[in-house]
Structure 1
Amino acid sequence: MDLFSRSWAALRTAVAEMPDESFELPSGCTGWLVRDLVCHLVIDAQDVLITLVTPAATEPTVDAVTYWNLVDPPTGEDPLDALIPRLAAAYGEPRLLKFHLDDVGSAAGRAAELADPAARVSTQDQVLTVGDYLSAYLLEWTLHHLDLIAHLPDAAEPPAETLAAARAALEKIAGASFPISFSDKDALLIGTGRRTPTDAETAALGELATNLPLILG
């Protein structure tokens, strides 16, 4: 729960501190500008709020690891993916996007802090505990923080402890560990296809290299 709060607060702070011109730069999400990614974060925050007030009475069907499915790389044909850039452009000014994310994002953060970790909630036809749901989102926030600053070398990176936790989560999803020589950031970027490994990194990955990238859905 604490790591979720730290990762979400760090991501929202990174957006708030970005100069307006940065919103027109590419993000680490292929085909999306930074403004598109920020719009996606607004929708993610809404999803957190909706899920936390959608109780479930049945036993959990997934946990923080099995919540994620490995899917094929996006083709751009998903209607929601196509909608995001149009929504982002409709805001017009970066300050409006910043305001909306701060408004909805702060509410999502407060709701997470107040929630009972053992309570069961439902989302996407699955049931899981609040603790597992928020742990799953820690991986989402950390990856999107890296996406946000992909072309902003001076921007603050995600907190070290959330990078480490996100790496551990990705290794559980992969069913294998990344080489100890990989930094947490590089493990996340290479593991999810956000960066192409060098020849030396591919050699260090061994058989794991054949299973990459891990596209989460």
Structure 2
Amino acid sequence: MDLFSRSWAALRTAVAELPDEDFARPSGCTGWLVRDLVCHLIIDAQDVLITLVTPADTEPTRDALSYWHVAATPPAGDDPLDALTVRLAAAYEQPWLLRFHLDDVGSAAGRAAGLADPAARVSTRDEVLTAGDYLTAYVLEWTLHHLDLVAHLPAADGPPAEGLARSRRMLEKIAGAAFPASFSDADALLVGTGRRAPTAAEDAELAELAGKLPLVLG
């Protein structure tokens, strides 16, 4: 629960500190500018709020790892929902409006997470999880999107080290194998989820794991 809060606070702070011109730069998400990614974060924050107030009275059907659906190919950026996000982001017109909305809804999502009972059961995407597992899954979400945010912004702060380490362990469990020790946590996440291709040397180190990649999470 604490790691969710720290990861989410760090991501929101990184957005808040971006100069206006950075919102028009590319993000690490194919087809999305930084402003589109920030709009997606607003939608994510709304999803967190909705899920935490959607109780379930049945046994959990997913945990923090099985919450994720794994595809074999990265999105091409032409999915209708992705396109809708781009149109919504453009409707904000000014970066300060995106910052304001993310701070408003994002702060509420953070407070709701802090008040949640980790053992409580919640429902989302027609599945049931404990609130603790749901928020743990979102540590990976926030960390990956923090990497997306700063992909082309070398002056921006990246995700917290503890979030990177936890997210790497989660991705390794999803993959069923560990990344080479020579990979930094950030590189393991970027290569593992298809956000960048491995170098020839990295590909050789990955060995059999290379055949399982990328792990595209959705």
Q: Which structure 2 residue ranges, 5 or more long, are not aligned?
A: none
Q: C-alpha separation between the residues in 2 aligned to 1:29 and 1:110?
A: 27
Q: Deviations over 1:2-30 (max 9, x none)?
A: 10000000000000000000000000000
Q: Letter of the aligned partner of 2:74 in structure 1?
A: P
SS in 2 for 1:65: coil
Contact 2:175/2:215, CA 8 A, preserved across alignment = yes
Determine whether 1:69 maps to 2:69.
Answer: yes
State the match for 2:194 in structure 1.
193
> Superposed, which structure 2 residues align to 1:59-208 within 5 Å?
59-71=59-71, 72-208=73-209
Q: C-alpha separation between the residues in 2 aligned to 1:98 and 1:77?
A: 25
Contact 2:30/2:77, CA 8 A, preserved across alignment = no
Segments ≥4 residues shifted beyond 3 Å: none
Contact 2:121/2:130, CA 8 A, preserved across alignment = yes
Q: Letter of the aligned partner of 2:110 in structure 1?
A: G
State the match for 1:50 in structure 2.
50
C-alpha deviation, 1:76, in angstroms:
3.7
Mean CA deviation greater in 112-121 or 76-85: 76-85
Q: Letter of the aligned partner of 2:63 in structure 1?
A: D
C-alpha deviation, 1:78, in angstroms:
2.7
C-alpha deviation, 1:80, in angstroms:
1.2
Q: Which structure 1 residue ranges, 5 or more long, are not aligned?
A: none
Determine whether 1:31 maps to 2:31.
Answer: yes
Q: C-alpha separation between the residues in 2 aligned to 1:69 and 1:40?
A: 18
C-alpha deviation, 1:82, in angstroms:
1.0
C-alpha deviation, 1:75, in angstroms:
3.8
Contact 2:30/2:75, CA 8 A, preserved across alignment = no
Q: Using structure 2 for the length normalisation, give the TM-score.
A: 0.98
C-alpha deviation, 1:77, in angstroms:
4.3
State the match for 2:211 in structure 1.
210
Q: C-alpha separation between the residues in 1 aligned to 2:179 and 2:78?
A: 32
Q: Deviations over 1:48-70 (max 9, x none)?
A: 00000000000000000000011
Q: C-alpha separation between the residues in 2 aligned to 1:57 and 1:169?
A: 27
Q: C-alpha separation between the residues in 2 aligned to 1:75 and 1:19?
A: 28
Q: C-alpha separation between the residues in 2 aligned to 1:154 and 1:39?
A: 21
Q: C-alpha separation between the residues in 2 aligned to 1:169 and 1:209?
A: 17
SS in 2 for 1:48: helix
SS in 1 for 2:217: coil
Q: Letter of the aligned partner of 2:66 in structure 1?
A: T
Alignment RMSD (CA, Å): 0.8
Q: C-alpha separation between the residues in 1 aligned to 2:30 and 2:81?
A: 15
Q: C-alpha separation between the residues in 1 aligned to 2:183 and 2:78?
A: 34
Q: C-alpha separation between the residues in 2 aligned to 1:19 and 1:174?
A: 37
* Cα distance, 1:76–1:195 mapped onto 2, change above 3 Å: closer
